[in-house]
């Protein structure tokens, strides 16, 4: 499949073909994402913090760590459009800092677009990045980088004022130039409403079936992540059992002496050389 472009993503929305997005954090998971011609977008999510690096929150992830992983993902990415999260703190201090850091993600991290959490308060940053040619995916609804100030991971937009905020934010971000909006953890009615109101694609996670596309965390899909399973997660594989079984059987084979097999899994010396050596 040829490289997915923003134009191609807009065409998918137009034809009501659901857009597929999946996260990746390193070279192997990037190859996993690229293995299906049906994947449209690979996201180096800042869930990297918890899923891959063992941090308690995405707010602990630095820009350098994100760039390091993004470079590996880029090396394993073929056709999917490649987007990375701008880490917490890397786009909050000023528009100019945000530009500098987004440029680092493009030049060093080799991404094609960046994702930013926030509403109307980040439109200046979104507008500037768009103006200089860095495509922005906005992220509204539940914003994990605001876990502490939101008092936990909670469904957003359930009240009239909450729903209005999500819609107003999404419209402002579209107006500022965002090429797509990710909507996280909102009622399915709101997921549909925002999607109908916008002219750009919406990518949902826990936002119901009516958004222009869906995204999930790689390890949730693979069933390797043993942390909390959100209501919106579906496990499409059970890699954890496969993995743990592989480790266990390897250890057993070494312990009982059945690995390595001398005939098929070992090298042998030439008989004459061996006689001379002895």
Residues engaged in binding ligand KIV (CB under 6 A):
23, 43, 45-47, 85, 182, 184, 205, 215, 217
The whole-angstrom separation of Cα 87 and Cα 36 is 27
| Residue 19 interface partner, choices Na ion, ligand KIV, none, CB cut-off 5-8 Å depending on type | none
> Cβ 107 to Na ion, closest distance in Å?
21
> Cβ 20 to ligand KIV, closest distance in Å?
12
Q: Which is nearer to ligand KIV, 34 or 47 (CB)?
A: 47
Write the binding mask 81 to 120 for Na ion: x where contact by CB under 5 A, - elsewhere.
Answer: ----x-----------------------------------
> Cβ 111 to ligand KIV, closest distance in Å?
14
Q: Which is nearer to Na ion, 33 or 241 (CB)?
A: 33
Q: What is the size of the binding site for Na ion (CB under 5 A)? A: 3
Identify whether the C-beta of residue 49 lies closer than 8 Å to the C-beta of residue 58: yes
Q: According to CB under 5 A, which one of 21, 41, 45, 169 is a site residue for Na ion?
A: 45
Q: Which is nearer to ligand KIV, 42 or 174 (CB)?
A: 42
- Of 184, 189, 252, 265, which is the active-site residue? 184
> Cβ 221 to ligand KIV, closest distance in Å?
11
Core vs surface per residue 66-104: b (16+ CB within 10 A) or e:
bbebbbbbbebbbbbbbbbbbbbebbeeeeeebbebbeb
Phi, psi at residue 203, to the nearest 5°?
Answer: -115, 120
Could you say whether residue 80 binds Na ion (CB under 5 A)? no
Q: Which is nearer to ligand KIV, 169 or 184 (CB)?
A: 184
Q: According to CB under 5 A, which one of 46, 169, 184, 220 is a site residue for Na ion?
A: 46
- Residue 184: active-site member: yes
> Cβ 218 to ligand KIV, closest distance in Å?
8
Q: Which is nearer to ligand KIV, 182 or 222 (CB)?
A: 182
| Residue 41 interface partner, choices Na ion, ligand KIV, none, CB cut-off 5-8 Å depending on type | none
Residues with catalytic function: 184
Residues near Na ion (CB under 5 A) are: 45-46, 85
């Amino acid at each position: 499949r040829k490289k997915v472009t923003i134009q191609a993503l807009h065409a998918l929305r137009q034809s009501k073909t659901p857009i597929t997005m999946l996260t990746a954090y390193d070279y192997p998971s990037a190859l996993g994402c690229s293995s299906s011609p049906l994947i449209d977008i690979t996201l180096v999510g800042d869930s990297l913090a918890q899923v891959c690096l063992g941090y308690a929150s995405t707010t602990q992830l630095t820009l350098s760590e994100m760039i390091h992983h993004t470079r590996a993902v880029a090396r394993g990415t073929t056709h999917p459009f490649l987007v990375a999260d701008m880490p917490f703190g890397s786009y909050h201090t000023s528009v100019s800092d945000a530009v500098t850091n987004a440029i680092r993600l493009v030049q060093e991290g080799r991404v094609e677009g960046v994702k930013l959490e926030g509403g109307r308060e980040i439109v200046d940053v979104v507008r500037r990045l768009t103006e200089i040619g860095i495509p922005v995916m906005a992220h509204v609804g539940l914003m994990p980088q605001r876990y502490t100030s939101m008092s936990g991971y909670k469904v957003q937009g359930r009240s009239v004022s909450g729903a209005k905020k999500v819609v107003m934010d999404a419209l402002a971000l579209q107006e500022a130039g965002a090429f797509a909006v990710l909507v996280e953890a909102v009622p399915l009615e709101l997921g549909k409403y925002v999607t109908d109101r916008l002219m750009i694609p919406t990518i949902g996670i826990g936002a119901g079936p009516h958004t222009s596309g869906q995204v999930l965390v790689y390890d949730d899909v693979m069933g390797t992540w043993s942390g909390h399973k959100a209501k919106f997660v579906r496990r499409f594989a059970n890699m954890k059992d496969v993995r743990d079984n592989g480790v266990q059987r390897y250890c057993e084979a070494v312990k009982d002496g059945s690995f390595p097999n001398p005939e098929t899994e070992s090298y042998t010396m030439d008989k004459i050389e061996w006689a001379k050596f002895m």
